[in-house]
Amino acid sequence: MSGTVYLVGAGPGDPELLTVRALRLLQQADAVVCDRLVGAGILPYINPAAQFHDVGKMAGDCRHRQEDIHQLLLSLAGTCARVVRLKGGDPFIFGRGGEELLFLSGHGVPVEVVPGISAANGCAAALGIPLTHRGVAASVRFITGHLRDDAGLELDWSSLADPTCTLVFYMAVANAAEIVAALQRHGRGGDTPAALIHAGTTEGQDWTVASLRQIPQLVSGFKPPTLLVVGDVVRLAQRAWSVAGAGQRLFRDAAEPCAPVAA
């Protein structure tokens, strides 16, 4: 009889943002299969007696193919009662959790999905950026900035031109210049506020706020994984800091201050 695989979202990095369910599973796990984007501060919460498998992938690194991870999970489910597949953010938002769910379910392995705070939600909140805001942004879209097999950014750019929609690009470093050029070409103004965020919610958090047109010159100072947030809601961050003054030791100076959004 096979064990259960738990697809667990570890959140954006701060261990205090783990769900209670995620924490309990980490403490009870017989085996943990861990992604590279899981915050280092979360690892001490894993059952020390559990098997630990690091399957983190980096661009151009073929050591941990997705097919190999599937087979590892299947093998572990045959010998372990509780297998935790630990992923940064949420397993169903650019985490390939859906692929793993389909594979394991197709082989008769019970799977439970444990959602996590997504990188977009967590990192934006850490800077005081609301992804939606009445009168400013009526919707938000999560977009991958790096497509499978380096196929290029084949996106419906015209649909991303709506100024009332906040855009969050995951894995945005490599293609930031292409993203910015395409957005401006299809109607997003070059003065649209934008933010680059690396390691959000952690002590290593790094960020900058600028106009959209400045992003290609600034992105070279950021390491993957970095989020690119585009939209007028970015202005609200600076307003929140000026009122609360909290957490500023984690932030570096903004590249280009943005005009505040009216209340």
Catalytic residues: 35, 57
- In this structure, the number of other CB atoms found within 10 A of the CB of residue 96 comes to 18
Per the DSSP assignment, residues forming a β-bridge with 7 are: 85, 113
Q: How far apart are CA 259 and CA 238, in angstroms?
A: 9
Per the DSSP assignment, residues forming a β-bridge with 83 are: 5, 31
- In this structure, the number of other CB atoms found within 10 A of the CB of residue 210 comes to 20
Amino acid at 236: L
- Nearest CA among 237, 88, 245 for reference residue 166: 237
Q: How far apart are CA 12 and CA 148, in angstroms?
A: 22
- Which residues have C-beta within 8 Å of that of residue 187, sequence separation ≥ 6? 158, 161
Phi-psi region of 201 (alpha: psi -120 to 50; beta: other; left: phi over 0): left
**Is the omega angle on the peptide bond into residue 225 within 30 degrees of 0, that is, cis?**
yes
- In this structure, the number of other CB atoms found within 10 A of the CB of residue 93 comes to 19
Tokens for 6? 């738990």
Q: How far apart are CA 170 and CA 159, in angstroms?
A: 18
Q: How far apart are CA 251 and CA 249, in angstroms?
A: 6
